[in-house]
Amino acid sequence: MRRAFTLVELLVVVAIIGLLISLLLPAVQTAREAARRTQCVSNMKQLGTGLHNFVIVNRQFPPAGRSYGWCNSERDFPHDPVTLNLHGLMLMMPFLEQSGLFDEYDPKAASSSLDFCISPSGTNGPLAGDPMTSGNAALATVRHAFLRCPSDSGDPLLPDNVYYGLGNGVGLRPAKTNYDFSVEYWEWRCNAWAATPERIRRMFGENSETKIAQVTDGLSHTIAIGETTFDNANGRCPAWAYRGWVQVGVDPAQGINIWMSPWTHPPNPDPSRTRPRSGRVGSWSWPGSMHPGGCNFVFADSSVRFLNESTSRGTMERFAKMADGKVADQD
């Protein structure tokens, strides 16, 4: 008689193999996430270096954006005479090894078509030029690997509409960015940065003109760029090339302690976007990431630090403000 495995022996072997695989998979997933997180840090380090190269040439940091066409132009927050809807990352392209792309950008034309005022007291300035015919709209569809966190598997493109996209059904879907400038949540008010007292300002805002000397809390204690997710329950993730409706940047002090599950969401008319799930931040300008336990930030000295989700709101406020006289250290 020929010897062979019995059915019981075969089942035991299969069970052992299954157990070994179940023990191995978490280790593999952890290793993959570690590699993705390393790449994310590398991307953000590149942005931090680009910021300082920009300062060397221009003697100041770039603005978060210029001349928004959708902002609230109340009396104390005057709007600009023309609308550009420009994102500050476009101005950084020559310092991020993207000089060829920047050469195609037309600074005399708007970057998107959004142009209306949410205040009944007035209207914003007209578009400086047509983003479609100038070629600026086409540039906004270019996807850059260094502006995307590899851990985020969400949709990397914005919708084709007038609020968050380039226009109303223009046939173009612009590219998002996981990384944006540190701003105040309420930067949807026209020229709010200039109207904000220096002691509570973030480093960036609409038409901001921050110089190194103004960061009196110290470059190593002030956040310059934050990370966010592609999915958003209220508003939309920012585009890299232009500023759309409430796409103001990342406020480090918003959404604190809810970066990871459970992701708290405010009410939204679209039920499909209010279901809490990992990877969907609650509102515009909230920081977030798909890295377990926290989020990456670029500090003004170009260093990149991972801030734990348990970091207190007070600490994040101090990291966000550039001249409040209260220097913070990581919790």
Q: Where are the alpha helices (DSSP H) in the chain?
A: 7-58, 88-92, 99-104, 131-134, 136-139, 192-195, 313-320
Q: Which of 251-255, 274-278, 289-293 has the lowest mean pLDDT?
A: 274-278
- Number of domain units in the chain: 1
Give residue for tokens 């084709």: 160
Q: Is residue 230 part of a domain?
A: yes
CA–CA separation, 186 and 267 (whole Å): 18
- Tell me the per-residue pLDDT of 31-82, one tens digit each, with 9 for 90 and over: 788 899 999 999 999 999 999 999 999 999 999 999 998 888 776 678 888 9
Q: Is 327 part of a structural domain of the chain?
A: no
User: Is 1 part of any domain?
Assistant: no
Burial class (CB in 10 A: 0-12, 13-18, 19+), 197: exposed
What's the rounded Cα separation, in Å, for the pair 97 and 69?
29
Dihedral class, residue 232 (left if φ above 0, else alpha if ψ from -120 to 50, else beta) = beta
* Cα first-last separation, the chain: 71
Considering only the C-alpha atoms of the chain, give the largest distance between any 2 of them, rounded to a whole number of Å. Answer: 98
Residues in the chain: 331
The Cα 103–Cα 101 span in angstroms is 5
| pLDDT, position 262 | 35
Residue 269 CB partners (closer than 8 Å, separation 6+): none
**Sign of the alpha-carbon torsion through 268, 272, 273, 279:** positive
Does 18 reside within a domain?
no
Lowest mean pLDDT among 147-151, 192-196, 201-205, 310-314: 310-314
Q: Is the pLDDT of residue 89 over 90?
A: yes
pLDDT exceeds 70 at position 12: yes
β-partners of residue 182 are 250
Q: Give a yes or no: residue 26 inside a domain.
A: no
HSE-CB at 296 with a 13 A cutoff on CA atoms is 29
Predicted TM-score of the model (pTM)? 0.87
The predicted pLDDT at position 123 comes to 66
**Do residues 227 and 151 make contact, with C-beta atoms less than 8 angstroms apart?**
no
Rounded distance between C-alpha atoms, residue 247 and residue 192, angstroms: 14
pLDDT at 318 > cutoff 50 = yes
Task: Identify which has the larger pLDDT, 256 or 168.
Answer: 168
Task: Tell me the torsion sign for CA atoms 329, 306, 184, 316.
Answer: negative
Quote the domain boundaries for residue 195: 34-320
In a domain, 131, yes or no: yes
202 lies in some domain: yes
Q: What is the pLDDT of residues 184-240, one digit of tens each?
A: 988 888 899 999 999 999 999 999 999 999 999 999 999 999 999 999 888 899 999
Please provide residue 179's backbone torsions phi and psi, each rounded to the nearest 5 degrees.
-125, 135
In a domain, 215, yes or no: yes
76 CB neighbour count, 10 Å cutoff: 10
CA 273, chain centre distance (Å): 19
Whether the link from the prior residue into 262 is cis, omega within 30° of 0, is yes
pLDDT-derived band at 261, boundaries 50, 70, 90: very low
Residue 179: strand pairing partners: 227
